[in-house]
Amino acid sequence: MHIFITGGTRGIGKGLALEFLKRGHHVSFTGTSIQSIENAKKDLNGKFNAYVCDVRNYSDILKSANQAIEIFGNIDIWINNAGVDQERLNVYELSETEVKRVIDVNVLGTINGTSIAVNQMIKQGYGRIYNLEGLGSNGMVIPKTIIYGSSKRLISYFSKGCNKELKEFKSISVGTIQPGMVFTDLLMNNMNEEGMKIAKILGNDVDYVSKRIVKGILQNKKKIKILTNLMVMWRFISSPFRRK
């Protein structure tokens, strides 16, 4: 299969690329710079190609997708993974530039990617799209993450809405992925002491999460949730931190 991943140079995106390549699939991924792509390539083996792309720009994604299709053919699975965190500040302390950055990458980037993927999949007659949810998707509200959480909450609504619009296309769907707490730069940046205590209980490494996500995708699951409510409960009960 041909897998297309936005934001594939580090974190979950890179983990997914590694895992799909290990399973013999063709992978196309994007990065924000030549340097980030070159750094990622050092750890990859298999049939892959990478493209410099700013997901905030529709034309960038379209160009990357078209180039990927020229090399590997139709895209079977498209994963909108590219995303950024916000500065750990209250909403009223954030600059207009910072708010726009988070919304443009997380929301507009996902909308752009989904739109381009759907148009391509209608042409080819099949395909699956997955959008990355995150903190806020399940309704949880944590101060100083409001813009990021709001962007991810929108992804949930957006993905459900897309499926309603795609009802006539039985072989095309938009799924969601809830990776939970993953030890990536996105999580670790600006992590305070209290947050780190929680992360030690609920967090997973990229390799574990990537394997679970890829397994779910290959099983055609529409909603992939790495950290279930039962798992959360068990980890807190069994954690030494919880017992103290």
Per residue in 37-63, pLDDT (tens digit) is 999 999 999 999 999 999 999 999 999
Q: Which of 72, 71, 62 is nearest to 118 (CA)?
A: 62
Cβ-based neighbour number of residue 34 at 10 Å: 10
Give the integer Cα–Cα distance in Å for 112 and 158.
Answer: 12
Contacts of 117 (CB under 8 A, 6+ apart): 4, 65, 75, 78, 80, 127, 129
Chain position carrying tokens 């790495």: 226
Chain position carrying tokens 């994007």: 30
pLDDT of residue 204: 76
What are φ and ψ of residue 186, in 5° steps?
-60, -40
pLDDT of residue 236: 46
Q: Which of 61, 15, 4 is nearest to 185 (CA)?
A: 15
The dotted CATH code for 2-191+204-227 is 3.40.50.720
Contacts of 31 (CB under 8 A, 6+ apart): 7, 8, 9, 37, 40, 50, 51, 52, 53
pLDDT of residue 130: 98
pTM for the full predicted model: 0.87
Residue segments in the chain with a per-residue pLDDT below the cut of 70: 136, 182-203, 227-244
pLDDT of residue 153: 93
Do residues 48 and 21 make contact, with C-beta atoms less than 8 angstroms apart?
yes
pLDDT of residue 227: 67
Each domain of the chain, given as residue ranges in start order, spans: 2-191+204-227
Cβ-based neighbour number of residue 78 at 10 Å: 27
Helices 109-124 & 58-72 angle (0-180, nearest 10): 40
